[in-house]
Structures are given as structure tokens and as C-alpha cells.
Chains A and B, each alone.
Chain A
Amino acid sequence: MSEFFNSIGDFFVKIKDDFVFNFIEGERWRYVTDGLKMTLIVTIGAVIIGIIIGVVIAAIRSTYDKNEEEYRRRGGVGAVIMRILNGICKIYLTVIRGTPVVVQLLIMYLIVLVSTEEVMVGIITFGINSGAYVAEIFRSGIMSIDPGQFEAGRSLGFNYVQTMRFIIIPQAFKNVLPTLCNEFIALLKETSVMGYIALQDLTKGIYIIMGRTYSYVLPLTILALSYLIMVMILTWLVGRLERRLRASER
């Protein structure tokens, strides 16, 4: 029996030694904290850009979808502009969703934004990438609302924008919240490839540690757990927001 406890004791001692060796010696924990900071900065910046792009594109696309018949029938400058805008949005969505984010990152870093700071390149690229997905999430949310809701709003005298603002978007937002949360979880995890453009995020930091210590189990476990915990916190926050929004319904 005592042998059993001894072996458990040994196990923990070994982990502790491992931890000290990997993270304490040479102040290597700094790679983790600095990396975490970088991961969060890029993710949060990208979320903000993604939402802005997403809202604009979803607005253009769903306006076009809802009024397609009218544009075709009435013509005029407005209709032509909407057609062009809708076309541009479609191209953007196709290209961004059709290419890997690592490739986009390299193109931006090495060709498009050569003289820009790496952090900004990261934020902009992940933002543009996420925007494509957010746009389609918002659009699907808007299109999923019963057309009767739209008609009821219009029949009361609301114009198109007012109907969207007062009637459709509050309902759509509630419906897309879980999907939106999914997208941000995916974005958070996707930022782990930013090491490709010499940004030291969490993943890259751990990578550097492993290069120094040649030990893998503990650093990789801690890396995985860090992402897991961040995702769990995010999920919990969104869950709370969702419950609060739902509470007003019954």
C-alpha cells in the first residue's frame, strides 16, 4: 500500500520538476504570458473588425436578397449600385472562404501589407477572414426570421431600415448568438497559426520553450489546457448573455 502512495508521490514530484525545468528556469513562463497576451490582442482585434465587416456585408446582401424583385423591376441607379455591391460582397466571401487562413496571412504579410507592423497584419487578416463568416451568420439570421414579421413592420409604416432595426435584427441577433459564439471560438483557435508571420502567440511561445528544453508532454498539455479554458470562459459568457436575452420572452 505504501508503495502505491510512494509512486503517486513520485509522479507529482516529477511533474513539479518538469514544470520548474520548463517554465521557471530562465523565466520561460514569460513566453506563456506574453504569448497569451498576443493571442488575446489579435483575437479581440479580429473579432471587432470581423463584426464590423460582417454587419456591413450582411446588410448589403440581405437588403439585396429582400428587394431583388424590386431592383429588377424598377431599375435605376440605386439598383445598379446595389447589384455591384452585392457582386463585390459575393467575390469577397468566395475568396476568403475558399482559401486557408495561413495562406491569407502569408499573402498579407509578404505581399500586401509589407511595411505594416506584424500585430496589425495579424489583426487585419484574421478580422477580414472572420468577417466573411460573421457576414453569412448574420445574413442567415436575418433571412431566417419569418417574412410575416417583416410585413407586419412595413404594414405599420416602418421603412426598410426601421423594420430591420426595431423588428428583425433584435430577433435575428438572439437566434444567431450560438453560431456567432462558435465562429469566435474557431477564430480564437485559428490564431494559433500566427507564428507563420513571426508573431509570438501562445502556441509559438510553447514551441520556443520546447525547442529549449526538449520536453513535450507538459508544455503541450498546458498549451491545450490554455485554449480549452479560454474557450470554456467564452462559452460560459455567451451562455449567460443568451439566457438573459431569452428571459425576456417568457
Chain B
Amino acid sequence: MNGNSLIRTEGLCKHYKNGKIKALDGVDVDIEKGEVVVIIGPSGSGKSTVLRSLNLLELPTSGHIYFEGVDITDKKTNINMHRQKMGMVFQHFNLFPNMNVLKNMTVAPVQLKKMKKEDAEKKARELLEVVGLGDRAESYPSQLSGGQKQRVAIVRALCMEPDVMLFDEPTSALDPEMVGEVLDVMKDLARQGMTMVVVTHEMGFAREVASRVIFMADGKIVEENTPKEIFENPQSDRLKGFLAKVL
């Protein structure tokens, strides 16, 4: 095993209806520290399922997932401890509507890491400042635009100081004019060396930021390469067909 490997999956399978539907059919990925891995593919290809399996929001039918060397699919592993180190950003933001922005960000560090409320809030305000939302700390999610909500969701995950950030189609639910502001935050994050796994339809982002692109179809990894190779020199017909449609 590579010493730098942060998340590694072995033969990941997710079956529904007693194996009649195979959402994932033997997926092996290896994500190293500092990498930005972008997963692309047609809808129903299993890319979101892979991502959601990495922190066990989706329970794989078989296969193993190693996070920082620990098999988190083992029944004895306390997944909650490991999830604290894996930030996740969802397509639909999933901010807590009954809490203001500050509370959204601090509830987990205060309750789980026993951080002092003042310290957590100070940190949250600093992070909000970085993503240009310094003046929205007291706002409620319903008062924010989609782009603002997603930026809050990102910094909420960052408040737990994760070792990896998982993004599940973070811009798919946004109005087009708000996509840029969220991608900019993600680009900054990548530049700072955060390990990221991103499921997205934003090919521009994949091309510009990814260190590696994984193309999935029918629950399998079809091609995996640098963005340059993936976009300029696709090997499989599936990928060629997909790129022809989206580019």
C-alpha cells in the first residue's frame, strides 16, 4: 500500500434488489493526500454512489474502504470518528434551516470536538470572511442565495478541519450565475492543498483543477487519467461518446 494513500477502495459493490441492479460493480480507487480527483460520467453511472460510499452514507454491499489505513467497512470501526475527518458538501446544501449560519458551522465542533463556543465562532467567522460571507454570520439559510448557501455548506464542513473534502455535485442545484462563486471557493481550497474528491458536471473545473479524472459508466471505472489525457486523448468509445455530448 502506498504511504500517501488517504482513501482506498477495494472491489466496491452496491447491489439493489438482490443483485439485479448493480449501482457499483467492483470499483477500486486510490486517493492520495493532496490530490484533487474529479469523477465524471453519465447519470446513473454510479459516481455519486462511489462518493457517498467513501464516508459510508451509502453502505456498500461488498468490498472494503480504507481511510487513513483503517478499514471503515469493518463492523467494529466507529465510523463517526472517521466522518469527522471527511467533510462533505451536498448537491442540495443541506444546511440546518432552524440555525443561523454561525450555529450551522459551530454545532458540530462544539458538540463533537468539545471546542469552546467562542473559539468555534471565531474560527467560523474567519472562514466566512475568506469566502466573502463575513456579514452573513447571523443570517438564516432561508435568507441566502443558492451560491451563498453552498459556500456556507463548504465552510461548515471545513470547521471540522477535515483531511479530505467530498463534493457531491456541488453546483448542480445552482442558478448558472452562481456556479462561479462556488467553484472559486473550491479552487482556492484545492490550491491550499486540500485533498478533494468531486463529482461534477463542470468539465471546465475538472480540466483546470483536477489532478486526476475518473470516468465512470454502468457502475464501473472506465477510464482514469490526467485531465489533459481524458479530455484530449480519450481511449474508450464510452468516454468519447460522453465527451461529445457534454463538451
Contacts and interface: CB of A to CB of B under 8 A. Distances in A.
A250 B143 contact: yes
Contacts of A158: 80, 108, 111-112
Nearest to B57: A151
B171 interface: no
B86 interface: yes
Given A154-B83, A156-B160, A157-B160, A249 B108 contact: no
B98 A166 contact: no
Contacts of B96: 149, 152, 167, 171
Interface in A141-177: 146, 148-149, 151-152, 154-159, 162, 166-167, 170-171, 174
A151 B108 CA distance: 13
Interface in B85-106: 86-88, 90, 92, 94-98
Nearest to B156: A156
A250 B107 contact: no
Interface string B5-40: 000000000000000000000000000000000000
A249 B140 contact: yes
A74 B96 CA distance: 31
Interface residues of A, number: 24
A149 B90 CA distance: 10
Contacts of A151: 57, 88, 90, 94
A146 B98 contact: no
B144 to A, nearest CB: 12
A157 B98 contact: no
A176 to B, nearest CB: 14
A250 B94 contact: no
A69 B59 contact: yes
A156 B98 contact: no
A156 B84 contact: yes
Given A74-B75, A156-B160, A248-B98, A148 B112 contact: no
B55 interface: yes
A148 B95 CA distance: 9
A3 interface: no
Contacts of B142: 249-250
A157 B81 contact: yes
A156 B157 contact: yes
Contacts of B108: 156-158
B94 A146 contact: yes
A25 interface: no
A54 B90 CA distance: 33
Contacts of B92: 146, 148
B214 to A, nearest CB: 21
A27 interface: no
Contacts of B140: 249-250
A159 B75 CA distance: 15
A70 to B, nearest CB: 7
Contacts of B157: 155-156
B94 A152 contact: yes
B104 to A, nearest CB: 9
A212 interface: no
A73 interface: yes
B12 to A, nearest CB: 15
Interface of B: 55, 57, 59, 75, 80-81, 83-84, 86-88, 90, 92, 94-98, 107-108, 111-112, 140, 142-143, 156-157, 160
13 contacts: A152-B96, A155-B87, A155-B88, A156-B107, A156-B112, A157-B80, A157-B81, A157-B84, A166-B111, A167-B107, A171-B96, A248-B98, A250-B143
